[in-house]
Amino acid sequence: MNTAEHTPLWIRGARVIDPSVGRDDARGEVFAKDGRFVDKLSKSDQARAQVIDAAGLILAPGFVDLNCRLGEPGRGARESIRAGTLAAAAGGFTSVVTMPDCLPAADNVGTIQLIRELCARDASVRVLPAGTLTKGHEGKALAPIGSLKKAGVVAVTDTTSGVQNNEIMRRALEYAAMFGLVVLDHCQDSSMTDGAQMHEGAWSLRLGLRGYPRAAEEIVVSSDCVLAGLTKARIHLQHLSSGGSAEIVRRAKAAQASVTAEVSALHLLLTDAALAQYDTRLKLNPPLREEADRQALIAALVDGTLDAICSDHSPCTATEKDCEFDLAPFGAATLETAFSAAYEAIVADGHADLNLLLQRLTCGPARALGLDAGTLRIGGLADVVLIDPKATWKPSAKTLLSKSGNNPLLGRTLKGRIRSTFVGGQLITKDGQPAK
């Protein structure tokens, strides 16, 4: 993305919230110059600055997404870096960690360099590539993690394949720790989920679909927490879906294990009952679970057991999803609606205030990976979102920017909207559309 010198930015009149330092100003000002926050602008800079009156809006650091897919390279029919990063900006995300299950897999320096080149040309937000943990994310032989770190990856993961062998996982954690990399893990014992389509429970029985038990996730969460304690490596558990998983993480943190965890916005908002009409857009991995799980995940997010909210953006083409439920791929396009889904589930329903929600979208995920993001500190990257918490809106296939059409919240009235997103002090999107 282009970070060249540009017009200074002066935003005033907004309620400024920066959870990283506990800032909450009823009517504050934020200044940026040359892509970074500054304490103030000189008179000459003020005279040429882009001045925005943000009265009635919330100003917060740009969101950080630790779990998304941008299609390229190799899956351009599903998503492109150009469209996906514009969608990220429309959803308030200014930094995204993209998963390595592209084609070819991001298990080598060449693929990482290709991703970085594509992003330099097409990305509208900061794209932080993750590399695979094992070659071809097949869970058999370790990837060249040291070389991947030198190439610029911020974490390593085998994404939804997962490492199914605990000895390999142990060695991978030790190897990643040597290079200061966090291991991201999708927690799934695949021996328990062969052919699974949705959460194993009353709704799977009613719909006649093979179930995915909570235990398949919780077993791996448990082993990861044990291995984190053994190796002293840092591990981040991706998109947890089970209340039992949250409790395991809670106990691991109490024992000082180096574990962090996230939940997707959809798992905060919906349950398996939403699948009553076999909507393939809601076929997710991990699956939507029961109301008790949703409430437990919300409680874990509020008490700090869960550190971050992710989009879990997993785009598919409309054709791929337009088939029988058991033939459809897993995944939903969620970047543009993640904030509104989480806002409705957490703030509008009275579980916590906006400050906590913003913490889990900004400094929470940034700290989990040690990223320079998610803050309004002076000298930091001038990534900002303006939010209208009172707005209601309906996502439409005609106006969403993602190339994918599998957003399950299309047509639903949502609360809270991202009005503007700035990256490096430059306006990228306004009211869900490109600024230029």
Which residues carry out catalysis?
A: 312
Contacts of 347 (CB under 8 A, 6+ apart): 353, 354, 357, 389, 416
| 211 three-state secondary structure | strand
197 has which bridge partners?
Answer: none
φ and ψ of 154, to 5 deg: -105, -10
Contacts of 163 (CB under 8 A, 6+ apart): 133, 134, 139, 169, 172, 185
Q: Is 128 left (phi over 0), alpha (psi -120 to 50) or beta?
A: beta
Q: Is the peptide bond before 144 cis (omega within 30 degrees of 0)?
A: no
Torsion angle of C-alpha atoms 424, 428, 429, 435, degrees rounded to 10:
140
Which residue in 428, 362, 333 sits closest to 124, CA to CA? 428
Distances (CA, A) of 283 to 312, 325, 413: 13, 8, 21
211 has which bridge partners?
Answer: 198
Contacts of 168 (CB under 8 A, 6+ apart): 134, 139, 140, 142
